[in-house]
């Protein structure tokens, strides 16, 4: 039966993909990729030769219905994003929703997601947490941070390297300089780093050192 597979891809180390994910990618008729060049590296590494077409935030509204119709007509597809599980701060939600509405089977494989190892590595309570993904850059940022300052669960954010220091400054302003946190970068790669300490300590460290790589920030909730 035709189906949409959601396939997690490695967040850094190409070995972090399941046997099942490779098998699915070998068997589907079409692979949807957030960036065909990035996915091309993974597919070449595992010698997977399948048609690949772009599916990203800039074209998803335009191609959505056509893709659903193709699956309804019998084509099996897999969705890949650049790293991690599609739909988690990446394109994927709209396609999954439309497939479900159209009665198209959707199956999400288990696999890599950056915030899970960052949370476990942090040493911060993980029994209850709130995943916020990327903060809004401007509109709504103040309101959200004001609300999150009262959050008692551990809070998880994604951030880009060029915005990390400014975002840590905002966290200090809203959460206080002594709130425990951990910044994880380059997870699963050669230069993986997990910097733990107070918000002020971690801010000062990265302000002096500079920042590279993909970033996950884990902050302890309000005591």
- What is the spatial distance between Cα 221 and Cα 193, in angstroms, rounded to a whole number? 22
Same domain, yes or no: 125 and 203: yes
Same domain, yes or no: 215 and 140: yes
Please give the model's pTM, rounded to 2 decimal places: 0.92
Specify the CATH number for the domain of residue 26: 3.40.1010.10
Domains in the chain, number:
2
Contact 204, 164 (CB under 8 A): no
Express each pLDDT in 109-147 by its tens digit: 999 999 999 999 999 999 999 999 999 988 999 999 999
Same domain, yes or no: 84 and 40: yes
Helix, strand, or coil (residue 179):
coil
Express each pLDDT in 177-200 by its tens digit: 999 999 999 999 999 999 999 999
**Max Cα–Cα distance, the chain, nearest Å:** 57
Same domain, yes or no: 98 and 126: no
Same domain, yes or no: 121 and 101: no
The last residue of one of the domains, among 59, 74, 108, is 108
* Per-residue CA distances from 39 to 67, 71, 84, 176 (Å): 19, 21, 12, 40
Weakly modelled stretches of the chain, pLDDT under 50: none
Structural domain containing residue 199: 115-219
Same domain, yes or no: 120 and 98: no
How many CB atoms neighbour CB 11 within 10 A? Answer: 24
Edge to edge, the sheet with strand 30-33 lists 52-54, 30-33, 77-80, 4-6, 106-108
pLDDT confidence of residue 52: 97
pLDDT confidence of residue 1: 64
């Amino acid at each position: 039966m035709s189906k949409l597979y959601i396939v997690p891809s490695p967040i850094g180390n190409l070995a972090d993909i399941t046997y099942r994910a490779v098998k699915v990618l070998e068997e589907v008729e079409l692979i949807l990729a957030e960036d065909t060049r990035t996915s091309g590296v993974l597919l070449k590494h595992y010698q997977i030769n399948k048609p690949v077409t772009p599916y990203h935030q800039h074209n998803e509204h335009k191609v959505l219905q056509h893709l659903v119709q193709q699956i309804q007509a019998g084509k099996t597809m897999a969705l890949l994003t650049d790293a991690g599980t599609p739909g988690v701060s990446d394109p994927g939600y709209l396609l999954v929703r439309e497939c479900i509405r159209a009665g198209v089977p959707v199956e999400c494989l288990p696999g890599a997601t950056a915030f899970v190892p960052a949370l476990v590595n942090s040493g911060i309570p993980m029994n209850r947490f709130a995943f916020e993904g990327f903060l809004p850059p401007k509109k709504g940022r103040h309101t959200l941070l004001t609300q999150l300052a009262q959050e008692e669960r551990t809070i998880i954010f994604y951030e880009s390297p060029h915005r990390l220091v400014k975002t840590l400054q905002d966290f200090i302003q809203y959460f206080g300089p002594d709130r425990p946190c951990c910044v994880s970068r380059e997870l699963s790669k050669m230069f993986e780093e997990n910097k733990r300490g107070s918000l002020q300590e971690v801010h000062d460290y990265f302000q002096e050192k500079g920042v590279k790589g993909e970033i996950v920030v884990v902050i302890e909730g309000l005591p």
